[in-house]
Structure 1
Amino acid sequence: MSSQDPSTAERWTPTPAFGRAVLLTGLLLIAAVLLGRVDLVVLAAPFALGTAYALHRRPTELPQVWISGEEEHLVEGGEVTGTVSVGNPGTVPYDVAVLRTRVSPWLRIERASLAGGTVAEGGRSGGTRRPAVAGRPFVTSVAPDTAVDLELAGTALRWGRHRLGPAGARVSAAQGLLVSRAVIAEPTRTRVYPKTEPFDAVEAMPRAAGLVGAHRSRRPGEGGELAGVRVFAPGDRLRRVDWRVSLRARQLHVAATLSDRDAEVVVLLDVLAEAGRSGGINGTASVLDTTVRAAAAIAEHYLHRGDRVALLEYGPSARRLRPATGRRQYLTVLEWLLDVRAQSSPHEPYDLVFGPQVLSADALVVVLTPLLEERSAQMLARLARSGRFVVAVDTLPADLSPPTDRGWAEVAYRLWRLDRETMIAQLREHGVPVVPWAGAGSLDQVLRDVARLAAAPRVGGR
């Protein structure tokens, strides 16, 4: 984007070099007049002529600055590139152009090249590599009607929308006698998608209610799961005839199958609290990091199998993403996850989140929660009492260290841990399975148990 401002395009100020040239020329001429010495006039002539010639070719337009960032799909740990350009729209060259730019701390810039040469390398500070170009000046000259690019390359450390910029430039012209005001370019945002952890789960689903899909249902129909053998009826296809049973029984029999149907998976993100410190893709993970990466992995797995996936936020904003299938839904999920933020709320957001017709009766609800607040446990219990198929995934980091800044902090931390374990045990008594997130296989046993319970016959009261 350009940052040219037409209303102030000719705002150039003299430099100290201009003041020294004028002062020296004036002093020499005054001395020549007072002392009657022609040689002092000869000494002042080069300064006067040089200053007049430089000012005769003074610039009339301010420089232009652009910032362009990565437009393709960028994932955590991937290479990020960006370009900061300074252009000269006039006919007078810029003798010196000083360019500075800011970079988000989650974009670790390791290489920066200007006019084809490498000018900066990342350094280490306190064990963490810091951006090499944040606030550092880069100096070049710019010819008329051309632009010079500062190319940046590095690594994206964390998911989110990260800023590249703002960038500013000041140029000097007329042989260093004039300097422009600072021209600022607005920052651009680079989208970094969460890296999906390896995740796989069994095919067991509580209820598969769609028309087509990969899950076995309990309803007869066209599918790949054998349900038994029955007598041939009008409308049955000949390819379904079981000739062995038919010859033995002397009557046509066909193989009956169960229909394959898709399921609806609702991933609920508990964003009421945050804990832990994020260290990027190669460091420690906070609650929000684990939640976002787990949600992306679960959504990718079930969307790849043809299921419908929806997303919900349990928080004051109550954001939701409607259920859908396919690759477009997966890209929409990744885009939706970039805006996930931890938001505390003084009120219970249950009624705000679970409005009418939000959750399907047959949907599998996977709740990603750190269980840091009692309201989260109450929400899980209410979902279970309403007859939903709920699975709670614990996203609290296992290596969360207790505070040590106060005398009773460690004791309070241990008591809080015991109270949290009691809360988890009570949830399991209410029929809500709670499992820690561990990537592939995290939900296998839980999904088998939930599917077994859903398939069990229910006793109705009289």
Structure 2
Amino acid sequence: MQPQLGWGDDPPARGADRGDGGAEPPPVGAPWLPGRHLVWTLAASLAVVGLGAVAGRADVVLVGVGPLVAATWALLLRPRGEVWVDVEPATTTAGRIGARVHLAAPPGTEAVRLRVARPSHGHVEALVAVPLTRTLDVTAPSVRTGPQDLVRVDGQGLGTGGHLTGPATRTTVPPVTVLPRAGTMPGLPLPFRLRGLTGQHASRRPGEGGDLRDVHPFQPGDSLRRVDWRVTARRSPRGEQLYTRRTFALAEAHVTLVVDSRDDVGPDPATWSGHVPVRPDDATSLDVARRAAATVARAYLTAGDRVGVEDLGVRQRTLRPGGGRSQLDRVVHQLAVLRPQGDPAPRVRPPQLPSGTLVYLFSTFLDAEPATLAALWRRSGHRVVVVDVLPTLRRGALDGRGRLALRIVEMERRDRVADLAAAGCEVVRWTDDDAAARVQLMARQSHRRPGVGVGR
């Protein structure tokens, strides 16, 4: 996964403001060294002129004067100062991260040799013509989310014909946060109990805006606009009794996304110990959890529901439930900064959730704590959807002991997930192809009719 260079459209001025105060170019006067070809040209020219002068041959002297004058002229007019390189993060879209490289070269610079590298991703080199200033767009594919190292850019100026070489400069960029990309969900499972007096979901309570509940004789307090004149004419031809149409109330769902950030493992079990780094082109379990949680949050917030975030790894990372577009931005950012931080203390009790909350638990279930918390939430009356985010494993690099250890871990995982299903939790493996169909089936069970599968 090597960075790719693309040309920008609008080169900025030297020292242009980037929103953070900008950066000033280095002081003028840094030395430019002659290249090997220029040194050999000077030496050969001086030798030819000297031999012609000693031998009294004017034609030989004229042969050496031309290259000597050209090389001397190049030395006298060599650029002064360093090539200024500034890097700023660019917009990250659809699995690609980018940066914008600003270049400013002193007069007399013909080209700039660039080397763009990302840690553990390789590097790419390019020779760029820089007419004083230029802007380059650098992009690189990335399957990772969360805090990521951007790029390191090394630049070196070249004089006319490449015979002069300027001092090398290096520019690094602080890590950037890559936000997870939210997908789409075909259906929305609802909690056992809806809350609030607004929303888009029909509840059991009588109220305004929902489906038809029944037709009832007019009572004090009923609105005349709800009188059903056809039913009234059929049941009370003389008009002694009016009949009104009563509906169900609309309500909203409260959803809590619980992310287990304690584990961030890749598809290769040999990297789980931490001694072997995960390949940069492999999505880890936390990458899968971020994308899955962002997809769920976007679907519910678009439907007008309220969404919050809980982190099992760090207790201070709690986002209170809220709604709207701004809440989606907060949720996505909260998911992006989740990462393992040391060895968290065991929880004595699960995080306290509002009554009637739909819980989505995203975990690898490599240990028993997430399964224990999910079972406690289910016994408390919450609807719990367990999302398994462990990537599809690769076993080719394991030896006999590694395969045996992995088999034991998988057996323990299957037992935990089976116990959760037996306790009433709904299990979805997000990395499977039928994950969307499973979620759609759970949504149909919630939407059969008001009062079935959905509480008050």
TM-score range, shorter chain: 0.7 to 0.9
- Report the CA distance between 1:298 and its aligned residue: 1.0
1:93–1:142 Cα contact (<8 Å) kept:
no
Q: Distance in 2 between matches of 1:394 and 1:342?
A: 18
CA contact (8 A) 2:267 2:394 kept: no
- Alignment CA distance shift 1:452-1:427 (3 Å): farther
Q: Which moved more, 1:180-189 or 1:163-172?
A: 180-189
SS in 1 for 2:216: strand
Shift of 1:181: 0.9
Instruction: Give structure 1 stretches of 5+ with no counterpart.
Output: 107-133, 457-462
TM-superposed deviation, 1:319: 2.0
* Residue pairs, 1:66-215, within 5 angstroms: 66-67=86-87, 70-71=90-91, 74-76=93-95, 83-88=100-105, 90=106, 92-103=107-118, 135-143=123-131, 146-152=132-138, 155=141, 157-160=143-146, 162-173=148-159, 178-187=164-173, 193-202=179-188, 204-215=190-201
Give the superposition deviation at 1:237: 1.4
Q: 1:22 to 1:404 in 2, by over 3 A?
A: closer
Q: Distance in 1 between matches of 2:72 and 2:403?
A: 75
For 1:361, the equivalent position in structure 2 comes to 355
1:238-284 deviations in Å (ceiling 9; x for gaps):
12113354342542222222210112111111122234439x9xx87
Matched position secondary structure for 1:142: coil
Does residue 436 (structure 1) correspond to residue 451 (structure 2)? The answer is no
Q: 1:334 aligns with which of 311, 332, 335?
A: 332
Structure 1 residue 220 displacement after superposition: 2.1
Superposed CA offset, 1:2-60 (max 9, x none): 76553575243344455546655776788789x68676876765565444422332322
Alignment correspondent of 1:112: none
Cα 1:316–1:455 change in 2 (3 A) is closer
Instruction: Check the 8 A contact 1:3/1:65 in 2, yes or no.
Output: no
Aligned counterpart for 2:293 among listed residues 292, 295, 304: 295
Shift in CA distance, 303/96, structure 1 to aligned 2, threshold 3 Å: closer
The whole-number CA distance in structure 2 between the counterparts of 1:57 and 1:419 is 74
User: What amino acid does structure 2 have at the position aligned with 1:393?
Assistant: V
The CA deviation at 1:404 is 6.1
Corresponding residue of 1:418:
411
Specify every segment of 5 or more residues in structure 2 that has no aligned partner in the other structure, as ranges.
1-17, 269-277
| 1:259 matched to 2:249 | yes
Residue type of the partner of 1:87?
A: A
Instruction: Using the TM superposition, give the Cα deviation of residue 412 of structure 1 relative to its aligned residue in structure 2, in angstroms.
Output: 3.8
Q: Is the 8 A contact 2:191 2:383 kept in 1?
A: no
Q: What TM-score comes out, normalization by structure 1 length?
A: 0.74
* Structure 1: distance between partners of 2:323 and 2:164: 61
| Contact 1:168–1:184 under 8 Å retained in 2 | yes
Task: Compute the displacement of 1:361 (Å).
Answer: 1.9
Q: Distance in 2 between matches of 1:331 and 1:303?
A: 11
**Structure 1 pair 93/404, CA: closer, same or farther in 2 (3 Å)?**
closer
Question: Are the structure 2 counterparts of residues 188 and 239 from structure 1 closer, same or farther at C-alpha, using a change threshold of 3 Å?
Answer: same
| Contact 1:197/1:439, CA 8 A, preserved across alignment | no
1:135 CA displacement = 3.2
Task: State the percentage of identical aligned residues.
Answer: 27
- Equivalence for 2:375: 381
Kindly tell me: are residues 436 and 38 of structure 1, through their superposed partners in 2, closer, same or farther at Cα, counting changes over 3 Å? closer
Which residue does 2:13 correspond to in 1?
none
**Which one of the candidate residues 301, 304, 315 is aligned to 2:302?**
304
Kindly provide the amino acid, as one letter, of the partner of residue 167 in structure 1: V
Partner of 1:125: none
Work out whether 1:405 is the aligned partner of 2:425.
Answer: no
Question: SS of 1:137's equivalent?
Answer: strand
Q: 2:80 aligns with which of 37, 53, 60?
A: 60
Secondary structure of the structure 1 residue equivalent to 2:157: strand
| Structure 1: distance between partners of 2:401 and 2:162 | 64
Q: Which whole-Å CA distance do the structure 2 matches of 1:341 and 1:321 have between them?
A: 16
Is contact 1:201-1:442 (8 Å) kept?
Answer: no
The alpha carbon displacement at 1:167 in A equals 1.6
Please state whether the residue corresponding to 2:123 is helix, strand or coil.
coil
Is the alpha carbon distance of 1:411 and 1:98 closer, same or farther for their aligned partners in structure 2, counting shifts above 3 Å?
Answer: closer
TM-score by length of 2: 0.75
Count of residues in Structure 1 that have an aligned counterpart in Structure 2: 413
Residue of structure 2 in register with 1:113 after alignment:
none
Q: Residue 205 of structure 1 contacts residue 215 of structure 1 at CA under 8 Å; is this kept in 2?
A: no
The question of whether the paired residues in 2 share the 8 Å contact of 1:196 and 1:293 is answered with yes
Separation in 1, partners of 2:176, 2:397:
37
Give the match for residue 460 of structure 1.
none
* Closer/same/farther in 2, CA of residues 197 and 53 from structure 1, 3 Å limit: closer
Q: Distance in 2 between matches of 1:425 and 1:293?
A: 25
Query: In the aligned structure 1, how far is the partner of 2:172 from the partner of 2:288?
Result: 32
String of CA shifts for 1:51-83, please: whole Å, max 9, x gaps.
442233232232222445542x6123x7x6655
> Are the equivalent residues in 2 in contact too, given 1:4–1:62 (CA < 8 A)?
no
Instruction: Tell me the SS of whatever aligns to 1:135.
Output: strand
Whether 2:5 is the aligned partner of 1:12: answer: no
